[in-house]
Amino acid sequence: MAGTSTINTGLFINGAFVKPVDPDATIEVVNPVTGKLITPVSAGSKTDLDVAVDAALKAYKTTWGLKTSGAHRGRLLNKLADLLEARKDEFSALESLNVGKSFFGASAEIKSCYEGLRYYAGWADKNQGKTVETNDQKFAYTRREPYGVVGAIVAWNFPLSLIIMKLAPALATGNTVIIKPSEVTPLTALALAGLFNEAGFPPGVINIVNGLGAIVGAAISAHSKIGKITFTGSTLVGRKIMEASAASNLKSVNLELGGKNPNIIFDDANIEQAVKWSAMGLFYNAGQTCYAGTRLYVQEGVYDTFVEHFSAAAKGLAYAVGDPFAPTTQHAPLVSQMQLDRVMTYIESGKNDGATLLVGGKRLEREGFFIEPTIFTETKPEMKIVKEEIFGPVAVIIKFSTEEGADTYILAPIIIDDIVHPRGN
């Protein structure tokens, strides 16, 4: 199946695509599978953000917020879901092209987007306060009110999914929204903006300002007219957002930050299933997920067997690269040259610190930003590759002896053992 997609690459402010204040300011969007330019998009500035915030605040006070019923907001969210579903293949292809992940994986994500819109559409008229009868002479009541303007700053690994996770509940509860998509993966955000007017949203309710995090993201964090921020990204940037929010107007802040997740595999585990799900949990999207199980703690009785089979699975993925639209492609690229360089720095750190590089560790000799699935053993707890989130296809496998010893490593883990004898916490 083939087709074409036309996207306006400007800023979406007050119901229209516009040029930024500096019309020559652009960001190059690159295909991570080939390393070649897809298209430049407009890059906004603090001044552009100010315009967007004023439009959002005006809409909140006049055509949205408490001026619009929850039932009506729900209808518009359902309409947006219908429009997105009707173009699901186009959006899946754009996500695959821009992020480098398989079309199959992108399709599942787009499905979750229009289903998520419908879920929150159902909540739009059910967000209610309470009446408390204190005695027969008086009562107290609570009223739920929107924040006003919400700033949504989105990561690059699940671009549209993360936008919908932030946009849908904010709209359902009467807020207007400023979205800053990642400068690396903005295409599906811009395509979605092309549906807002058709869905019936008033001008200014949803605004999209492309731009660099250090410029537009920082301006959102410090803006005194924005009442809430929702952010997905690194812990380092999350700290900066909290600082700026506190220093400006004490915004409410939601942060979804990184992780360093363990899988714990016991002697009685089904090794075939343990390898299958550990590989999926780690190498999906080339390890560029906050829930990637990059620390594999394996009990000594099955350690050698697990390492043998897991290594074979990792080596096989190195040959399953290429066109993300091909059904045989399983291993994705890193999203950018910057991310590739970052992951390679961690791999060099592991080698320099004395860990054993068992599998991979190199950039694949082909176009694009591909790194071999990589496995380290013989690590130490203080090593960076054990402690820090790498956000790439890099695993550390650590041997342990007793169940009590494994308790040291448990932090939101996946525990794989014989399900007939589940282990309690």
Residues catalogued as catalytic:
256, 290
Structure tokens at 80: 């947006």
Single out the residue of 235, 242, 179 nearest to residue 211, CA to CA. 179
DSSP string, 254-285: EEE-----EEEE-TTS-HHHHHHHHHHHHHGG
Cβ atoms of residues 196 and 70 within 8 Å:
no
Sequence-distant (6+) residues with CB within 8 A of 72 are none
Question: Which residues are registered as beta bridge partners of 262?
Answer: 295
H/E segment holding residue 328: none
Range 375-407 burial, b when 16+ CB lie within 10 A, else e: bbbebeeebebbeebbbbbbbbbbbbeeeeebe
Give the integer Cα–Cα distance in Å for 408 and 406: 5
How many residues are given for the chain? 425
Packing angle of the helix pair 70-86, 88-99 (nearest 10 deg) = 70
Which runs of E-coded beta strand occur in 33-91? 36-42
Give the integer Cα–Cα distance in Å for 204 and 7: 20
Can you tell me which residue has the tokens 């699935």?
373
